[in-house]
Amino acid sequence: NAGVTQTPKFQVLKTGQSMTLQCAQDMNHNSMYWYRQDPGMGLRLIYYSASEGTTDKGEVPNGYNVSRLNKREFSLRLESAAPSQTSVYFCASRPTGDSNQPQHFGDGTRLSIL
């Protein structure tokens, strides 16, 4: 009964380091999403994917790349981390048979960049 699993839960990086945040879902959902959450700014969409092999930019894609290699996994990569990317990152997934099913969220990754 795992749902959406994000790893790691916490990470501290130095400016300029690279890192990949992992997300996997076991609900056979087609759509997956990456958000960042910052104080006072709610959730902002970074990238999303309608299906395996497709990705689209959200509101704040700069400084990030994503990869949807299979239906289960959707990873988010920071190539050269910057302090402005300190945030809590959430992955979500949703079925697309009924296009307005709710998104299911992972527990988040708290990322600090020094």
Task: Catalog residues that contact another protein under the rule CB under 8 A.
Answer: 31, 33, 40-45, 48, 50, 54, 56, 58, 88, 90, 92, 96, 99-105, 107-108
How many helices and strands (H and E) does the chain possess? 0, 11
Q: Which residues of 55-66 are buried (b: 16+ CB within 10 A; e: fewer)?
A: beebebbeebeb
Query: 63 or 108, CB closer to another protein?
Result: 108
Alpha carbon 8 to chain centroid, angstroms = 12
Query: 80 or 96, CB closer to another protein?
Result: 96
Query: 85 or 93, CB closer to another protein?
Result: 93
